[in-house]
Amino acid sequence: MIILGVDPGLTRCGVGVIEAGAHRRLSFVHVDVVRSSPDTSQDLRLLAIYNGLAAKLDRFAPDTVSIERVFAQENRNTVLGTAQAAGMAMLAAAQRGIPVALHTPTESKLAITGNGHALKPQMERMVARILGLNEPPTPADAADALAIAICHALRPAGALQGGEREQHLTPAQRQWAQAAQQSAKRTRRNADRGM
């Protein structure tokens, strides 16, 4: 299975591609950053992000697109641009009939390190280790995109299948699933409050 991970951003949108084989064996395929210039208008920036993502989808033909779920940040302009870039990724995938999964940063940290509060250097080292890379990918947006793809590959069995979970999850998978549920609840509460 080919998974294309997206760390959405309006200036830099990370794209990471991995292959998930038998027994959850993960292999590195590609990493890059799609960029748009802050000196151009918003519509042209979104077009640049969309075109860059569309080219990656056409090149790698992934089975799934895994996107980092946008969460509330202090800077509204940043969260708005991030949400718009995520929308471009979802649109490009939907146009090609590719399923989309959304994962929070906490879910990603928990799936990769076993700690939902892991720091960025820990995540970057684990991404490199899991994929057999000699050093962490750069820039950070690229490493985050690979992390989101890895998160999807390592998600607990049945996590995205209507809540039907296998009976025999490992303790780490159980912890990951609980964190995912808590994150989804927080997202719904924030949406209800208009955040």
Residue 7 in marked binding region = yes
Nearest to 8 by CA among 62, 52, 40: 52
Residue 144 in marked binding region = no
Using an 8 Å Cβ cutoff, are 96 and 57 in contact?
yes
Rounded CA separation 8/12 (Å): 8
The active-site residue out of 68, 107, 124, 144 is 68
The active-site residue out of 19, 107, 141, 144 is 141
Nearest to 113 by CA among 57, 68, 151, 162: 151
Using an 8 Å Cβ cutoff, are 158 and 174 in contact?
no
Rounded CA separation 42/129 (Å): 37
Q: Decide if 74 is catalytic.
A: no
Rounded CA separation 129/55 (Å): 28
The active-site residue out of 7, 19, 107, 144 is 7
Residue 141 in marked binding region = yes
Q: Decide if 141 is catalytic.
A: yes
Place of tokens 């990656």: 56
Label residues 167-185 b or e (16+ Cβ within 10 Å = b): eebeeebebbbebbeebee
Q: Decide if 192 is catalytic.
A: no
Residues flagged as binding site for Mg(2+): 7, 68, 141
Residues flagged as binding site: 7, 68, 141
Which residues are identified as catalytic? 7, 68, 141
